[in-house]
Homo-oligomer: A and B are copies of this chain.
């Protein structure tokens, strides 16, 4: 587990940095400063330098960062050299959108299996990803450790239990339900209705600069 000294806030930004470095590299750029990067990812340049510094001295004073080197460093830090296989539970509206999206474009992550309760869907595939019945979780999940959860909220806790039993230790939960899991399992909630509602709240209650 090496040093878990890296602040969580930093860890959440790493994939973002990685993606932009990838872009720059593809554009043939050789060097980049924290200031440039800052403008691209909208994170303060001092924060970026601080973030990078947790990993040691990655840059050169007066020069900036070598794109290729930095990219390589993050590639290994983010384990981008090997494919991470992910499963999806609930191939409905939202689930289907994810299945059709290629996370491989920017990340070495692939959804390789889907599960649903609907027999109409079971046996078919979406963009090459096979859909199994949710009762086959134990046989088919194999050693998949990370799961995207897009089932109806009422099913969330029930499915989560099964996932934990099947050895999953990471769940990206899109249902509005706050699921209960043992402490060795990590859940990240993405609550789209809350995000929308809170944006609306901020607009109504927080002052925004009126100048151009």
Check A101–B106 contact: CB distance below 8 A. no
Contact present for A148 and B4 (CB under 8 Å): no
Secondary structure class of chain A's binding surface, majority of residues:
mixed
| Contact between chains at B198 and A11 (CB < 8 Å) | yes
Residue A151 CB within 8 A of the other chain: no
Chain A count of residues within 8 A CB distance of the other chain? 67
A200 x B170 contact (CB < 8 A): yes
| Cβ contact within 8 Å between A211 and B183 | yes
Report if A30 contacts B (CB, 8 A).
no
CA A184 to CA B202, docked complex, whole Å: 12
CA distance A1 to B14 in the complex (A): 35
Q: Contacts A1-B205, A178-B41, A206-B4 known; A107 to B211 CB distance under 8 Å?
A: no
> A140: shortest Cβ distance to chain B, in Å?
20
Q: Which of B94, B145, B191 contacts A16 (CB 8 A)?
A: B191
Q: Are B176 and A2 in contact (CB under 8 A)?
A: no
Contact, CB under 8 Å: B97 / A194: no
Residues 5-36 of A, flagged 1 when their CB comes within 8 A of B and 0 if not, give: 01010011011101100000000000000000
